[in-house]
Amino acid sequence: MTTRALNLIVWNENIHETRDEKVIRIYPDGIHRVIADALQQLLSDSEVRTATLADPEHGLTEAALADTDVLLWWGHEAHDAVDDAVVQRVKTHVLGGMGLIVLHSGHWSKIFTSLLGTTATLRWRSSGDRELVWTATPSHPIADGVPNPIVIAEQEMYGEPFDIPTPDETIFMSSFSGGEVFRSGVTFTRGRGRIFYFSPGDQEYPVYHHPDIQRVIANGVEWAAPRSRTRDIPRLEGPVSPI
Amino acid sequence: MTTRALNLIVWNENIHETRDEKVIRIYPDGIHRVIADALQQLLSDSEVRTATLADPEHGLTEAALADTDVLLWWGHEAHDAVDDAVVQRVKTHVLGGMGLIVLHSGHWSKIFTSLLGTTATLRWRSSGDRELVWTATPSHPIADGVPNPIVIAEQEMYGEPFDIPTPDETIFMSSFSGGEVFRSGVTFTRGRGRIFYFSPGDQEYPVYHHPDIQRVIANGVEWAAPRSRTRDIPRLEGPVSPI
Amino acid sequence: MTTRALNLIVWNENIHETRDEKVIRIYPDGIHRVIADALQQLLSDSEVRTATLADPEHGLTEAALADTDVLLWWGHEAHDAVDDAVVQRVKTHVLGGMGLIVLHSGHWSKIFTSLLGTTATLRWRSSGDRELVWTATPSHPIADGVPNPIVIAEQEMYGEPFDIPTPDETIFMSSFSGGEVFRSGVTFTRGRGRIFYFSPGDQEYPVYHHPDIQRVIANGVEWAAPRSRTRDIPRLEGPVSPI
Amino acid sequence: MTTRALNLIVWNENIHETRDEKVIRIYPDGIHRVIADALQQLLSDSEVRTATLADPEHGLTEAALADTDVLLWWGHEAHDAVDDAVVQRVKTHVLGGMGLIVLHSGHWSKIFTSLLGTTATLRWRSSGDRELVWTATPSHPIADGVPNPIVIAEQEMYGEPFDIPTPDETIFMSSFSGGEVFRSGVTFTRGRGRIFYFSPGDQEYPVYHHPDIQRVIANGVEWAAPRSRTRDIPRLEGPVSPI
């Protein structure tokens, strides 16, 4: 695991938190604030910034991304409002080495589906299921320091089939009290970038206040961080000479 | 999928069925008989044989294996009683192309662990959990023709972490009423041989009488069958000339 | 392998063959014609159609795709001229189950990169290298019936690093007389669709006249063909009831 | 990457170096001595020990392994002379988390084939081929700091097909002047243990004196090192209570 100080951006569309009383009670300063505070505490050397949909260029300017090791993404009802040019910019940075953590309903974000190529659809139900997050790969650093299983008292259900390419690693698998199962923590590599998708977390439940969930996200950030901040975007090389 | 007639052997240690009243009531002629009858019906062109631990060379002579497309394996309490030379013989045939279906407690058989290299350990509980077998990869031929999920009213629980190498494909994932999850249908390729592990099925529950479970096993047989019965065992080649 | 009659479309941008004397001499009726004729002969029950960039909707209307089992794609200098709406339509069919064979310089087509999510860049040199196409996975049906290695006397060099996600299977690996190596035959699954990328073949060399190359492409078509022509596009399901 | 001090054992059968004049000239103190010296220099905080076939218990006692983070393995003509009990002991430590680096002809060692389950056979020729070691996965830490390709002036050829399970990652692919290709750097995870196989290196060529090869091996050691020295051997858990 890296020991250098990391620069992070926690991105949130921040729509529910401005409109929905129930969500505001759980996340009065936004989901991004709770996650950013947790990361600042757990990864104390890091510089943790936040950005939202309403910011100019969604807060994801070229300068901001060039200075970022890992970007965390939360979105739900405004995926379509994210500017295509910004998505392309983020994608270029991921392919060049920036880490990406995609959270919960971010499975349908433009950035996630454009990196995976599939629909990322799933089954769902929001009726307060208990979620048990089981560690399937105990040797993985993302699973360090959390109980097996993590118990989430109330949570939205996400269920299989989950239309994703075969992940590099399936670290967590969840069950729900309604009987469903889900690959809740999976990793992908695209270009030079490492991607971690982690499904627990929703605007209607206080999941991001859960210390084990915070620990997993912090572990994911450390895992996804590149060894240097220099981007190395894969590029066509040729014509090249024989060796 | 192959359309040629297949030669199959259903292997069973056949210990519980000779001693345990409860098991005898469920499988009076042995687990192997129920599976063989189902395969004969579903794959009507096939020639389905059975073999057990008590047979000479466990019924797995060189001649028998050479004439077999797919071997199915059920064992539980007598794994150690299986002769090492027979295990090595079976392994050689798998590496040369013979398909292998490993069922339930066969996860701890010598043949399975020697092909995978890991311990294949897991969590377990036999207290009549309901198992839901979810299809995670709907495009796979092994999942053809079964509901999502398959519902098994009562079954032994097998739970993660399941110590196996990353499978080629995770076709089924199960939940149990006690809250656990398990990769219940996974595939591997070793040498020229295709391997399908399928966990539902136990001596104390009538799982192998379940038509959906029978369908999955028949699908697995068709998927694992080699394109020809000629074994092609990988061998060192050299010294070879430059091209 | 399927035994039902397959409907195929061989798609070609067909630009070089209308402008470049050297290419016209090798492929007077277009690369698509040579591939289509080979497939018609090797898969005699199939209905093999062709389509090109110049056709209305590039010949890839909804009706045409709905009636197609496997689409083959060759493009090189006009990737940008392919209409985004048609690319999205093709992608939807692939995710719903249509097979896709991407050939040579099609690595940079919109359809391939949008399904993979990476840049698909590589190293290259067009100076008549000898290519040796080695079978790394002899058990795979796509490698049936071809020598190891396939020898291509003159060919454009494509070299690693090839910026693709980890393939499901690496069937062929090539060396070039200049010393490079390349994963020349790889498979991916996206949604319900099977994808085979095969790099040998170029407009400046008669590679598609090579019988072993034709055999591999025909094998790839059979492997990628879905079990039925019904598309099954992954879709969000919810809210669903507990089981 | 870990920054704690690592305990390493470089194991060598050390047979050629006691008998063969040509080998003695290249490796007068044994292959293990050259590798150990390089690791001591590149990973200066580490404690690097060596062990050979002739040592009591081959130098791989329970106490020695319990104190080891990563074991490196070189063997060639005496694979059969390695005691089965020692192999089982090493395997248990790998499954419990100890890293393992398998070098060159170690592909046929008992420890490697018992962890993989396949034959690990390949094509070969020892006639001074030039080997080019290409990085296929530039983002991987094992590829840090080496040119692409690494040029080895003279080396034994190892060629595909290489009978191994699908690796987790294919980091290096080599070409040889005779035209062959080989997956020369691949990783596997078995249990809690990380395994890196790296093919360059032979007793008849001075490959282990090559600084780029030394760098790759040191990178591999850092990658394979567990996060703690505590072994965590996967074990059956049950019967367990419902959650």
Residue C106 contacts residue C73 (beta carbons within 8 Å):
yes
> Looking at domain A7-117+185-224, does it have CATH number 3.60.20.30?
no
Residue C140 pLDDT > 80, yes or no? yes
Query: Burial, C12: exposed, middle or buried (Cβ in 10 Å; 0-12, 13-18, 19+)?
Result: buried
- Cα distance between residue B136 and residue B101, in whole Å: 19
Name the residue type at position B234.
P
Is the pLDDT confidence value at D145 over 90?
Answer: yes
Tokens representing residue B22 in the block: 């409860």
Q: Cβ distance D208 to D214 under 8 Å?
A: yes
Residues of B in contact with C194 (CB under 8 A): 139
Helix or strand (DSSP H, E) at B193: strand B193-198
Q: Are strands D193-198 and D181-190 parallel, antiparallel or unpaired?
A: antiparallel
Q: Which residues of C touch B226 (CB under 8 A)?
A: 139
Give the distance from residue D142's alpha carbon to the nearest chain A alpha carbon, in angstroms.
Answer: 12
**Is B68 part of the contact surface with chain A (CB cutoff 8 Å)?**
no
Per-residue pLDDT of A46-75, as tens digits, reads 999 999 999 999 999 999 999 999 999 999
* C-alpha distance from B114 to closest chain C C-alpha (Å): 20
D242 neighbors D55 (Cβ within 8 angstroms): no
- Say if residues D16 and D105 touch (Cβ distance below 8 Å): no
Query: With bands split at pLDDT 50, 70 and 90, how would you rate the model's confidence at D4?
Result: confident
Whether the Cβ atoms of residue B135 and residue B164 lie closer than 8 Å to each other: no
Q: How many helices (H) and strands (E) does chain A have?
A: 7, 9
Closest CA to B28 of D150, B36, B20, D88: B20
Nearest chain A residue to D192 by CA distance is A139
Residue A124 is nearest to which of C178, C190, C238, comparing CB atoms?
C238
DSSP-assigned letter for residue B1: -
Whether the CB of D122 is below 8 Å from some CB of chain B: the reply is yes
ipTM of the complex: 0.96
Q: What is the CA radius of gyration of chain A?
A: 17
Per-residue pLDDT of chain B (243 residues; tens, 9 = 90+): 446 799 999 999 999 999 999 999 999 999 999 999 999 999 999 999 999 999 999 999 999 999 999 999 999 999 999 999 999 999 999 999 999 999 999 999 999 999 999 999 999 999 999 999 999 999 999 999 999 999 999 999 999 999 999 999 999 999 999 999 999 999 999 999 999 999 999 999 999 999 999 999 999 999 999 999 999 989 889 999 998
User: What tokens were used for A189?
Assistant: 């590599």
Instruction: Count CB pairs under 8 A between chains A and B.
Output: 66
Helix runs in chain B, H state only: 16-19, 21-26, 31-42, 62-66, 84-95, 110-116, 211-224
For residues C70 and C46, the answer to whether their CB atoms sit within 8 Å is: no
- Nearest Cα of chain A lies from the Cα of D192 at a distance, in angstroms, of 5
Best probe of the B interface among D182, D237, D241, by most B CBs < 10 A, is: D237
How far is residue B146's CA from residue B132's CA, in Å, rounded to a whole number?
A: 12
For the cut 60, the answer to whether the pLDDT of residue C188 exceeds it is yes
Task: Tell me the mean pLDDT in the region C4-9.
Answer: 94
Q: If pLDDT is split at 50, 70 and 90, which confidence band does A4 have? A: confident
pLDDT at D2 over 60: no
Asked if C134 and D160 come within 8 Å (Cβ–Cβ), the reply is yes
Task: In whole angstroms, give the CA distance from residue A232 to residue A238.
Answer: 17
Indicate yes or no: CB of C138 within 8 angstroms of CB of B192: yes
Cis peptide before C167 (omega within 30 of 0): no
Share of chain D above pLDDT 70, in %: 99
Cross-chain Cβ contact C191/B139 below 8 Å: yes
Task: Please tell me if residue D239 touches chain B, with a CB cutoff of 8 Å.
Answer: yes
The predicted model scores a pTM of: 0.97
Token pair for A230 = 């220099």
Q: How far is D160 from chain C (nearest CA, A)?
A: 6
Tokens (6 digits) for C243: 């089981």
Residue where the block lists tokens 């895992």: A223
CB contact under 8 A, B189 and C97: no
Could you say which DSSP state residue D220 is in? H
d(C-alpha A74, C-alpha A202), whole Å = 9
Q: Which residues of D touch A3 (CB under 8 A)?
A: 3
Q: Is D229 exposed, middle or buried (0-12, 13-18, 19+ CB in 10 A)?
A: middle
- Which of D136, D174, D177 has the CB atom closest to C161's CB atom? D136
pLDDT score of C88 more than 80: yes
Residue-wise pLDDT for C16-50, tens only, equals 999 999 999 999 999 999 999 999 999 999 999 99
pLDDT band at residue C1 using 50, 70 and 90 as cut-offs: very low
CB within 8 Å of chain C, chain A residues 146-165: 159, 161, 163, 165
Whether the bond into C149 is cis, omega within 30 of 0: yes
Residue D31 structure tokens: 């292959």
D37-95 pLDDT, tens digit per residue, is 999 999 999 999 999 999 999 999 999 999 999 999 999 999 999 999 999 999 999 99
* Annotation: CATH topology of B7-119+183-224: Rossmann fold (3.40.50)
Task: Name chain D contacts of B127, Cβ cutoff 8 Å.
Answer: 239, 242
> Which of D138, D189, D243 is facing A139, going by the closest CB pair?
D189
Measured CA to CA, the distance from residue A184 to residue A233 in angstroms comes to 29
Q: Which helix (H) or strand (E) holds C90?
A: helix C84-95
Chain A: partners with 3+ C-beta pairs within 8 Å: B, C, D
Best of C190, C194, C204, C232 to disrupt the A interface (most A CBs within 10 Å) is: C190
Nearest residue of D to residue A225, measured between CA atoms: D1
Asked if residues B105 and B113 have their Cβ atoms less than 8 Å apart, the reply is: no
Taking a C-beta distance cutoff of 8 angstroms, is the pair A243, C180 a contact?
yes
What kind of fold does domain D7-118+184-224 have according to CATH?
A: Rossmann fold (3.40.50)
So what's the pLDDT on residue B149? 98
Which residue in D139, D141, D151 is closest to A97 by CB distance?
A: D139
> Is D134 in contact with C180 (Cβ distance < 8 A)?
yes
B52 SS3 class = strand
Compute how many other C-beta atoms are within 10 angstroms of the C-beta atom of residue D2.
Answer: 17
Q: Which chains touch B (3 or more CB pairs under 8 A)?
A: A, C, D
The answer as to CATH 3.40.50.880 being correct for domain C7-121+184-224 is yes
DSSP letter at A202 equals B
Query: pLDDT tier at D3 (50, 70, 90 boundaries)?
Result: low
Task: Quote the CA–CA distance of D203 and D24 in Å, as a whole number.
Answer: 9
- Per-residue pLDDT of B161-196, as tens digits, reads 999 999 999 999 999 999 999 999 999 999 999 999
Residues of A in contact with C189 (CB under 8 A): 165-166
Inter-chain touch C243–A122, beta carbons under 8 Å: no
Closest CB to B124 among D124, D177, D238:
D238
Binned at pLDDT 50, 70 and 90, residue D1 comes out as very low
